[in-house]
Amino acid sequence: MSSITPISRRDYLEPTGLLLLTQTMISWAVYSPPVIAKQALPEMGLDPIWIGAQPMIVFISAMFFGVLASSWVVSINPMRASQLLICSCIIGVLLVSTGEIVLVVIGSAFVGAALGPSTPASSHILARVTPAHLQPLIFSIRQASVALGGVLAGFVTPLLMQHWNWQISMMVIALSCIVTLCVVEIWVGNYKRYSEPNIDHRFAVFKPIQLVLSIPSLRWLTIGMIPMVIAQYCLTTFIVLYLQDDIKLSVITAGWILGTAQASGMFGRILFGLLAGRYFTPLKVLLGLSILAAIASILTSVLSSAWPIGLIFLIGIIFGASAAGWNGIFLAEAARQSPAGQISRVTAGSTFFIFGGCVFGPAAFAILIEQSGFGTAYIVCASLLLLSFYAFLMSSRNTN
């Protein structure tokens, strides 16, 4: 008689819900600074375009903490590790809320330190509790939390700013993270069984990176994701500023367009995860998303204040769904291609390069804006997405 315990829905739905909650809070902290930039940065004596520097700090921190902690998060209870990452997020948000430039820099690094290892920790759990045929969908549902955090940043943060100020809005995020800690604490003991105390958890930067580069299909998959994440963060980091400066919309309307784009990304991740799990291969879905994101970026580049507001919202929806719809599909495909027992390291190695795109993408985008304007910057973004299309084709050819 088999001793294998069948997997129940609760086995994967409970951790999916908890991980969705923790990542939502981290993402709210990541996405809110671009929303408050036009109001906050002048108070610090900086031009709002300097918001391109803040994501650089977040994602440089995420890059290195992601690979450094890829084994640590699974050597202990990975859900407990998620709680500790939320604590880092709380510290970071409170430091950002001070408005002191040095403390904002340090706080942004703390937020990045929370963001980087959160995905390896969640992938480690979900890959063990989710049936293979459901992994693209479940990973996409969990990754919908990234867009959900953006929805909160787009809709809630401007309202908090309107009623109080940008500092209070950041403090509300910190309070929400504290509540999340208390909620996760109820169930955290159930996940001790997923720890791997015997794993080599020394802080090693290069092992996860070398692992990804040594496998051709993973290498091409990762290359393809870099322009996709650049497109995603060029949308989320600059769209509110673009809509205020060039299209002459209010911060509330611009924030709502961002929130709508993020909401479409959230639902798009679930829809595309369902398609990748049941009807198409994950790589075929990624190919389609790269083309759709390129089209959306071109449309964004030619926005005009004369256009109906409904049409601007529609373009935001298309951009959000395509540029932010890839995360769960990518993570499920990376987990599928990973050698046995190496999912957290493969995830960390891949996200090292992806976070690198988050670092250099917004910075290069800001330079393009300064030199040539928002329109040219979004055209260049669309051109880069052709590289994604080619890379996904190559990954498909090298996949067993």
Instruction: Give tens-digit pLDDT for 225-252.
Output: 999 988 887 887 788 888 888 888 887 8
The answer to pTM > 0.75 is: no
Residue 303 inside a domain? The answer is yes
Residue 132 inside a domain? The answer is yes
Contacts of 216 (CB under 8 A, 6+ apart): 394, 398
Structural contact between residues 115 and 26, judged by C-beta atoms closer than 8 angstroms: yes
Contacts of 172 (CB under 8 A, 6+ apart): 156, 160
Backbone angles phi, psi at 130, to 5 degrees: -110, 130
| Average pLDDT score over the chain | 83
Tallying the residues shown for the chain, one arrives at 400
Structural contact between residues 370 and 196, judged by C-beta atoms closer than 8 angstroms: no
Half-sphere exposure (Cβ direction) of 110: Cα atoms closer than 13 Å: 21
Tokens of 118: 């959160």
Structure confidence at residue 4 (pLDDT): 42
pLDDT, tens digit, for every residue of 23-61?
A: 999 999 988 887 787 778 788 887 766 766 777 888 888
Domain count, the chain: 1
pLDDT, tens digit, for every residue of 146-171?
A: 778 888 887 888 888 888 888 899 99
pLDDT, tens digit, for every residue of 345-383?
A: 787 788 788 878 877 887 788 888 888 888 898 999 999
Residue 119 inside a domain? The answer is yes
Q: Among 68-72, 189-193, 343-347, which stretch is predicted with the lowest mean pLDDT?
A: 68-72
CATH number at residue 169: 1.20.1250.20
Structure confidence at residue 159 (pLDDT): 87
Residue 288 inside a domain? The answer is yes
User: In whole angstroms, what is the distance from residue 230 CA to residue 249 CA?
Assistant: 24
Tokens of 385: 């997405």
Q: Which residue has the tokens 């800690």?
A: 181
Residue 3 inside a domain? The answer is no
Q: What angle do CA 296, 297, 302 make, to 5 degrees?
A: 100
Please classify residue 248 by burial: count the beta carbons closer than 10 Å to its beta carbon, then call 0-12 exposed, 13-18 middle and 19+ buried: exposed
Let me know how many helices (H) and strands (E) the chain has, helices first: 16, 0
Contacts of 115 (CB under 8 A, 6+ apart): 26, 27, 30, 58, 59, 61, 62, 66, 85, 355
- Which amino acid, residue 270? I
Dump the DSSP string for 248-273: ---HHHHHHHHHHHHHHHHHHHHHHH
Residue 4 inside a domain? The answer is no
- Which amino acid, residue 54? Q
Structure confidence at residue 199 (pLDDT): 63
Structure confidence at residue 261 (pLDDT): 87
pLDDT band at 388 (very low <50, low <70, confident <90, very high): very high
Residue 36 inside a domain? The answer is yes
Residue 1 inside a domain? The answer is no
Domain extent, residue 97, equals 9-184+203-398
